[in-house]
Structure 1
Amino acid sequence: MKWDARRLRALGVAICFAGAAILSACAAPASLTYKGSGPLRVTSEVWGYYQEYLAKQHGARRDGVFLVAMYGDIGRSARYSYCPEVYDYCTSGGLNVALNLCKEDHLDCVLFARGSQIVVPYEIIKD
């Protein structure tokens, strides 16, 4: 098969659509998106939980997720999930596990980080 410019463009478009579908599948649900004005304000205790989470991420088989539980307009608690390196296979997506922890505790959570990448502007406040 000869690859002319028309076929190459069609292939490029197909790859772009496939990439967009993959990225949208990885996006956080709208319910986890921080909707406040200004940076997400988190307590130093939540920041400490995030540091614990980061330490556990070292050597993890798959990126985890870190969710901040909101009390009013301040993140005062957190839930997270990751796949430890001692496991051969994790059966559930980290986002779903962390989100279920929030739901079980009746918390309003927002996505703070995927893996070690913080995904929202933030500010650490004194407790």
Structure 2
Amino acid sequence: MGYRVVDCDEVETTDDRDCELRRVSDAAGLENVAINRFRAEPGQQIPLAYHYHEEQEEAFYVLSGTLSVETPEQTYEVEAGCLFSVEPNSPQRAYNAEAATEAVELLAIGAPAVTGDAKPYEGSEE
């Protein structure tokens, strides 16, 4: 049997992002699900680019603030305590709006935990 308690604040941040990213699943030793904790100040983007995943399902659970998620059809405003889910092949870009008055904190959960399935989305591909 295996159990772990992870203090998310003790997980080191990743340097390749504009916002704060802590890869919680790595610290927890999880292999089948990716869990990341983000903190983004107003105007900061969560992913590196507008994208979609070929295999991975994603869920964003907002801990505080309001998360904006741009999709081809509309932009969603996801309040604290709410969850936004994304099916594979569904383009999206999550960010904290420029006009926000506070940081947004969230958990991003993805399964399966695959690498290389994120593809850039550049509008209509027809």
The TM-score by the shorter chain falls in which range?
under 0.3
**TM-score between both structures, scaled by the size of structure 2:** 0.26
The structure where helix makes up a greater share of residues is: 1
The structure where strand makes up a greater share of residues is: 2
Compare CA radii of gyration and give the structure with the larger one. Answer: 1
